Amino acid sequence: MTPQKKFHLLFSVVMGLLMISLMTFVITAVNIGFPVDFLSRWGQAFAVAYPVGVPVIFFVAPIARKLTGKLLGMPA
């Protein structure tokens, strides 16, 4: 695996951890507030979202970079 591919894979894992943690926290809080079992329910939401989100980031990030470059008239 090339260093660039390793970087992209690790980027996807880290971005997924940060983004999915924050988003599942916010959406869980909006939907149920902060009951006693909040952390358990947030954990369940994260456990479902993370395995879906990381591959999405892995495959969509390069497309987003290219599109952003085109919109700004810059190389991706």
Question: Tens of pLDDT along the chain (76 residues)?
Answer: 899 999 999 999 999 999 999 999 999 999 999 999 999 999 999 999 999 999 999 999 999 999 999 999 987 5
The ranges assigned to domains in the chain are 10-72
Q: How far apart are CA 17 and CA 59, in angstroms?
A: 16
pTM: predicted TM-score of the whole model, two decimal places: 0.81
Q: Is 35 helix (H, G, I), strand (E, B) or coil?
A: coil
